[in-house]
Amino acid sequence: MSRISEIFSGFRNLLFGNPAIEQMAQEREAICAICPHAGVSIYLHCNLCGCYIPAKSRSPLSKCPDGRWPSPTLKEKESGNKTRSS
């Protein structure tokens, strides 16, 4: 997945998310909340990749640039399964 696709996916899920995406985002944002690389200037962002964290955390295939998030492949599978079963 290209970076543009990841960004688009994250913003789309920010606007039109579902319970599985929100669960994943909450878990990721809890990690970001205590991460020394998280920054707040005019927006909440990651200082390593520059991404807007509320959108990045909702993009299933996005990865933490410091390896702090669980595997995106596993998370993508989990959110896909939950989405299909709900």
Residues that bind ligand SF4 (CB under 6 A): 31-32, 35, 37-38, 46, 48, 64-66, 68
| Smallest separation (angstroms) from ligand SF4 to the CB of 45 | 8
In the complex, minimum distance from the CB of residue 51 to ligand SF4, in angstroms, rounded to a whole number: 7
Toward ligand SF4, which CB reaches closer, 76 or 81? 76
Q: Quick one: 14 or 38, whose CB is closer to ligand SF4?
A: 38
Query: What is the rounded distance in angstroms from the CA atom of residue 61 to the CA atom of residue 40?
Result: 24
Q: How far is the CB of 65 from ligand SF4 (least distance, A)?
A: 5
Q: Are the C-beta atoms of residues 17 and 58 closer than 8 Å to each other?
A: yes
CA distance 66 to 48: 8
Q: Which is nearer to ligand SF4, 32 or 55 (CB)?
A: 32
Distance in angstroms between the alpha carbons of the first and the last residue of the chain? 25
Taking the C-alpha atoms of residue 3 and residue 1, their distance in angstroms, rounded to an integer, is 7
